[in-house]
Amino acid sequence: MATLESLTWLNRFLDDTPGDSEFGGASRQVPHACWSRVHPSPAPHPELILWSQEMAHMLNLERGQAETLAGGTPVPGMDPYAQRYGGHQFGNWAGQLGDGRAITLGEVETETGVVELQLKGAGKTPYSRFADGKAVLRSSIREFLCSEAMHHLGVPTTRALSLVSTGEQILRDMMYDGNRAYEQGAVVCRVAPSFLRFGSFQIHSSTGDVETLQTLVKHAIQHHFPTHSSDDDDGLVRWLNQIAQDTALMVSHWMRVGFVHGVMNTDNMSLHGLTIDYGPYGWLEDYNPGWTPNTTDNSTRRYRYGQQPQIAAWNLARLLEAMVPLMDEPERLHEVLTAYTDCFDMHHNRMWAEKLGLDTFAKQDEELVRTLNSLLQEVETDMTLFFRLLCSLQSPDISALRFAFYDESTIPEQAWNEWLSSWWTRIAGQPNREVMLQANPKYVLRNWMAQLAIDAAEKGDFSVCESLHELLLNPYDEQPEQEEEWFQKRPEWARHRVGCSMLSCSS
Ligand code: AMP
Ligand code: MG
């Protein structure tokens, strides 16, 4: 096992792409650059709180070094920088955004490939705009636990190595309502092949900087999509098709497990089809496709659960627009959107086949799924409990699924029994239970579960964080000793509680 000093550090992104001539400095526009070198801000009292054994093992890294992982002096080999990117936020072009509070330490060579290590919350960069570059404990816990849980749920995601509390007090207006309060600071070290986003490309084409755009595309393809090329339209379309397919797969997994990202701005869309930037995300409990946990999005609910597949397509279209200057025949980019739709439909159909234990998804199953979707919305029904209990149903009778309903006296029993009978007939009484159990997790990071972990952690007790981290390493396993605590509907106290049903972008 090695220390951070003895890892093999690379700086391929800095070597390949143009950057800022200034080191650090005030918030500003940085034209023609892909990055700015920065100094992370050291924490006054760094303390290691959470650690991913798996990530450490992948890096061959021994536990510790909280100081460096909270923004202290970089070790030799690290060349910290903040990435420049732009983005469409809530449908509008927002111009330059960039890593306002993320600082990449460098890239590390591992046995399974090169990964980037990035600190979130280690201080200001030229992209911090009016904010402080810091992160609070509550949002850092949410990022650490959820990204690790997503990985074990089989959802493509960035990972987390560590969570360090900084010992600093940070002022936040949690619900943007004028009630500011001090909160504890923290830094997550997150890990991904790269943190390139759709917006990383958009920023250059939006300013007509085709040369930088081309350089960045070349870099991305060479290191992250080595079987592709940017030599001609064919190559570019094939590469973008890959991104479309990766994105479609990611979103279909979100739909499968009931995850709502909450802020699908184009700066939060990973080039690798990874779930990235865990902010005001949430998990469906009551199966309501119109739900979003993000109160900042209350008026239009643009990023609601049921609209995520369409939003991903919209975001992809913005990436494609950014590629127009590199194409001889830009109209060919339409092929990529078609590829996204076809690919999503394929994954979506397979998802339903797996969730319902069908051998394959046939045309006539569309009706079965449509009816199921509307029944699930008739009265408050818990998505995770419903599908998990369905896996072990022995006869087409809704009474065995009562536990999934929030008010058992309101269950539309006859309609449910009719649906269950048609499903039972479809599968000839023999659902593929093995497949169902792998498609319908028993445990997800429900909003109130994360909140319980946060409430305890804010008082210095990290045991709930540890328990949830552990529980969610095996979300498809029965873990009967955990049922009473975590295989549960949302408790009443969480219905209107900030942090459970209501979250903002403040973090
Ligand atoms: P997000 O909504 O987290 O994707 O952030 C949108 C933009 O705001 C990105 O450019 C972030 O880096 C930036 N940002 C968010 N929070 C902070 C903060 N506390 N300090 C500086 N920049 C921030
Ligand atoms: Mg972001």
CA 420 – CA 186 distance, rounded (Å): 48
- Reported as a pLDDT band with limits 50, 70 and 90, residue 339 is very high
Nearest CA to ligand 1 atom 11: 100
> pLDDT averaged over the chain?
97
Ligand 1 centroid to 121 CA: how many Å? 10
Q: What local confidence, expressed as pLDDT, does residue 496 receive?
A: 86
Q: How many A from CA of 268 to the centre of ligand 2?
A: 5
Catalytic residue list contains 267: yes
Two structure tokens written together for 293: 């946990």
Task: Give residue-wise pLDDT tens across range 128-181.
Answer: 999 999 999 999 999 999 999 999 999 999 999 999 999 999 999 888 889 999
The stretch 29-42 carries a mean pLDDT of 98
Distance 20 CA to ligand 1 centre (A): 20
List all residues 6 or more positions away from 103 whose beta carbon is below 8 Å from its beta carbon.
Answer: 38, 40, 71, 80, 81, 82, 118, 119, 122, 123, 125
Q: Is the pTM of this model over 0.85?
A: yes
Spatial distance between the Cα atoms of 378 and 22, rounded to a whole number of angstroms: 58
Has residue 184 got a pLDDT over 90? yes
Amino acid 312: pLDDT: 99
The residue contributing the CA closest to ligand 1 atom 18 is 133
Confidence of residue 427 (pLDDT cuts 50, 70, 90): very high
**Average of per-residue pLDDT across 43-54:** 98
Residue 176 confidence (pLDDT): 86
Residue 507: pLDDT above 90?
Answer: no
411-447 residues labelled b (16+ CB within 10 A) or e (exposed): beeeebeebbeebbebeeeebbeebbbebbbbbbbbb
pLDDT of residue 1: 84
State which of 129, 176, 202 you would mutate to test the pocket of ligand 1, scoring each by most atoms of that ligand within 8 A of its C-beta.
Answer: 129
478 is written with which tokens?
Answer: 């029965």
| Segment 109-123, tens digit of pLDDT | 999 999 999 999 999
The residue nearest atom 8 of ligand 1, judged by CA position, is: 100
Query: How many CA atoms, within 13 angstroms, populate the side-chain half-sphere of residue 71?
Result: 31
Taking alpha carbons only, the member of 300, 278, 83 closest to residue 190 is 278
CA distance 19 to 33: 4
- What is the mean predicted confidence (pLDDT) over 269-282? 98
Q: Report the share of the chain in percent with pLDDT over 70.
A: 100
pLDDT digits (tens, 9 = 90+) for 450-501: 999 999 999 999 999 999 999 999 999 999 999 999 999 999 999 888 888 8
Per-residue pLDDT band at 396 (split at 50, 70, 90)? very high
Among candidate residues 145, 488, 487, 155, the one with its CA nearest the CA of residue 351: 155
Cβ atoms of 44 and 156 within 8 Å: the answer is no
Of 20, 79, 267, 297, which residue is the catalytic one? Answer: 267
Buried b (16+ CB within 10 A) or exposed e, 469-478: bebbbebbee
Residue 505, ligand 1, Cβ within 6 A = yes
The ligand 1 atom at the shortest distance from the C-alpha of residue 125 is 21
Ligand 1 pocket, residue 269 CB under 6 Å? no
Through-space distance between the first and last CA atoms of the chain, rounded to whole angstroms: 34
For residue 122, give the nearest of 68, 49, 52, 193 by alpha carbon.
Answer: 68
> 209-233: per-residue pLDDT in tens?
999 999 999 999 999 999 999 999 9
Residue 435 has pLDDT above 90, yes or no: yes
If we measure between CA atoms, which residue out of 100, 258, 270 comes closest to residue 198? 270
In the predicted model, is pLDDT for residue 291 greater than 90? yes
SS (H, E, C) 391-407: CCCCCCCHHHHHHHECC
